[in-house]
């Protein structure tokens, strides 16, 4: 593989840009191809069969773009379709946010996990964490409304505060909270206000990008070129919110996303 090939990152929508941000910071010379399936979000309320179908279509798209690594920046896909992604990727290394986030959170004693219904129902996070530390106490909450609110741009809306309090108030004894959806770091300030300063909030995006650095280094695939990196963004629906929210979060101007159809 050429080390100038791009890294492929995909999610159901905007949330995966939290992973992209971390990759940009830790691997500033890497080219990135990002795919956001905005037309078909949210994934978290869909059936396992549907999610697997969407993941298959996306991986085939990224493979066609000659990526050297694939990052599943979607907890729902990581939970129910990771094996399918690995199979379709062939010899391309695959990283996912659940595996990385589980390692980062496993030192906690009383761990809370907030995620989409599909991720919660899969029990992927508890199973993964318990394999690393079987003495921890784990509780989960399916935060169904977070993704649509974030995608609609309600980042600082009073409705978000009320809904977040409803979801998080039962988790009043946790010492660690896993943001089990890549959208959730965008509303980390709201979450922090509710859980308090003493709770260790785990953003799996940071650990995933660390693991990506480790894997690319091991495979001698780090891009050593000093050329300005190329960032390509592909979406299944053009939405002005993608650029506005993405630019606010990444602190950089995004190129206009290219519209694609996978059906």
Q: Which residues contact 123 (CB under 8 A, 6 or more apart)?
A: none
Active site residue 181: yes
Give 19-70 pLDDT, tens digit per residue.
999 999 999 999 999 999 999 988 988 999 999 999 999 999 999 999 999 9
Gap between the Cα atoms of 170 and 129, Å rounded:
21
Active site residue 74: yes
pLDDT at position 80: 93
| pLDDT of 119 above 70 | yes
Contact 81, 97 (CB under 8 A): no
Gap between the Cα atoms of 112 and 46, Å rounded:
23
The position carrying tokens 């480790």 is 214
pLDDT at position 218: 97
pLDDT at position 147: 87
Tell me the CB-side half-sphere exposure of residue 18, using CA atoms within 13 A.
27
pLDDT at position 130: 96
> How much of the chain, in percent, has pLDDT values that exceed 90?
80
Average pLDDT over every residue of 210-219: 97
Q: What does pLDDT average to over the chain?
A: 93
Q: Of these residues, 80, 88, 97, 181, which one is catalytic?
A: 181
Residue extent(s) of CATH 3.40.50.1860 domains in the chain: 7-96+206-259, 99-204
Look up the CATH number of domain 99-204. 3.40.50.1860
Contact 48, 79 (CB under 8 A): no
| pLDDT of 150 above 90 | no
Domain 7-96+206-259 has CATH 3.40.50.1860: yes
Q: Of these residues, 14, 74, 97, 168, which one is catalytic?
A: 74
pTM for this prediction? 0.89
With bands split at pLDDT 50, 70 and 90, how would you rate the model's confidence at 1?
low
List the structure tokens of 244.
């506005």
């Amino acid at each position: 593989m050429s080390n100038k090939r791009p890294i492929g990152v995909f999610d159901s929508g905007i949330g995966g840009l939290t992973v992209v941000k971390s990759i940009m910071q830790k691997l500033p010379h890497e080219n990135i191809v990002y795919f956001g399936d905005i037309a078909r979000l949210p994934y978290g309320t869909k059936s396992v069969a549907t999610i697997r179908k969407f993941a298959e279509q996306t991986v085939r798209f990224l493979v066609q773009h000659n990526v050297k690594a694939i990052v599943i920046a979607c907890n729902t896909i990581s939970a129910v379709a990771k094996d399918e992604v690995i199979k379709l990727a062939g010899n391309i290394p695959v990283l996912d946010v659940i595996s990385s986030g589980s390692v980062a959170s496993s030192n906690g004693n009383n761990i809370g996990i907030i995620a989409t219904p599909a991720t919660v129902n899969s029990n992927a996070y508890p199973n993964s964490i318990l394999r690393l530390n079987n003495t921890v106490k784990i509780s989960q909450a399916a935060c169904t409304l977070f993704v649509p609110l974030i995608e609609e741009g309600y980042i600082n809306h009073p409705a978000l505060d009320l809904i977040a309090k409803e979801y998080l108030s039962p988790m009043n004894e946790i010492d660690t909270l896993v943001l089990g959806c890549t959208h959730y770091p965008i509303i980390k300030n709201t979450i922090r206000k509710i859980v308090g300063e003493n709770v260790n909030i785990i953003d799996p995006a940071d650990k995933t990008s660390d693991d990506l650095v480790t894997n690319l280094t091991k495979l001698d695939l780090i891009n050593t070129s000093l050329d300005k990196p190329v960032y390509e963004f592909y979406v299944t629906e053009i939405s002005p919110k993608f650029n506005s929210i993405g630019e606010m979060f990444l602190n950089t101007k995004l190129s206009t996303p290219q519209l694609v159809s996978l059906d």
